Amino acid sequence: MTDPTNDLASRLQGLWLPLITPFRDGELDEASLRRLVRYYAAGPVDGFILAATSGEGMSLRVDELERLVMVTRSELSGSGRRLPILLGLSGASTAKVLDALDETAAWPIDGYLIASPYYIRPSQRGLVQHFTALADHASWPIVLYNIPYRTGVSLTNETLLQLALHPNIAGMKDCGADRAQSIDFLSRRPPDFRVLTGEDALYHEALADGADGAILLSAHLETEAFASVQTIMKQGDRGGALACWKAISGLTRLLFAEPSPAPTKYWLKRSGLIDSAEVRLPMVEVSAELAALLDEEIERRRLPLLRQA
């Protein structure tokens, strides 16, 4: 097993984009994917997450996952930026996730984002053994994904502190939606263990509490402004960071008004960045009511012309 964990941990900060997966006529839309990657690689993004929740990863076949990774890495290479890529994996069976780690070991990624087993609701002891088995086996470092409202089980801080000591676990995407728990963990985590919030609506407060950055679907829009919140806060201007945040915080509510990533795909289609707002069942495209609200917001913000992609 390689051990690039320290390198990933050093880069696991700032603004990461959980890239949507564009579809057209039921298939992966490679032209739109290339356009997306070129566009965001030219902006203030510090890394990409592929095939996680926002990327509808559970709807993708293995061959599609591989193509998603290969196209993204190819476009990043052409952009001149060696941005890191995390591949989203999930599953209720430890053995099946181990198989997925083997299938993807040679892919040009930098790590994995792995959620707790869904539906099974294992004990904390079971979670420790599950993630330890994965981390022992993985060719690339792992970032834990704590999102109990999707998986049905939360990683407690004691469990997280135990897992944080594993040399092949680099950090965590925190979607626990429990600020007190997050603050407690941030105060006790090992110094080289990174924490990125995944709760778009809690972005500003997570940074204020000491998170190292964020993985934000909403940053598909107003990317520069989302990045600026952290930049300004790091400069010590908390008032300026809050003002910047207030100007974009409404987007986080609008983009999650219906199941994600459908609202974001609608906006990106309207912007011309992707060719179709298509999602895969059981996801459905936005309702006419939400489409009207999105149209109003697009007009209000006077969506600028895209950079040449």
Between CA 300 and CA 308, with CA 304 as vertex, the angle to 5 degrees is 160
Cβ neighbour number for residue 285 with a 10 Å cutoff: 17
Catalytic residue among 173, 203, 265, 266: 173
Q: Is 54 labelled as part of a ligand binding site? A: yes
Residue 96 falls in the annotated catalytic set: no
φ and ψ at 216, to 5 degrees? -125, 120
Phi, psi of 222 (to 5 degrees): 50, 45
Residue 39 a catalytic site member: no
Q: Residue 111: which of 211, 221, 16, 206 has the closest Cα?
A: 16
Which residues are CB-neighbours of 299 under 8 A, at least 6 positions away?
A: none
40, 112, 145, 203: the catalytic one is 145
**Coil, helix or strand for 65?**
helix
**From residue 22, how far is each of 34, 49, 253, 278 by CA, in Å?**
10, 14, 22, 7
CA max distance for the chain: 51
Alpha-carbon span 120 to 292, nearest angstrom: 39
Q: Which residues are part of a known binding site?
A: 54, 215
Residues assigned a catalytic role = 145, 173
Binding residues for pyruvate, as ranges, are 54, 215
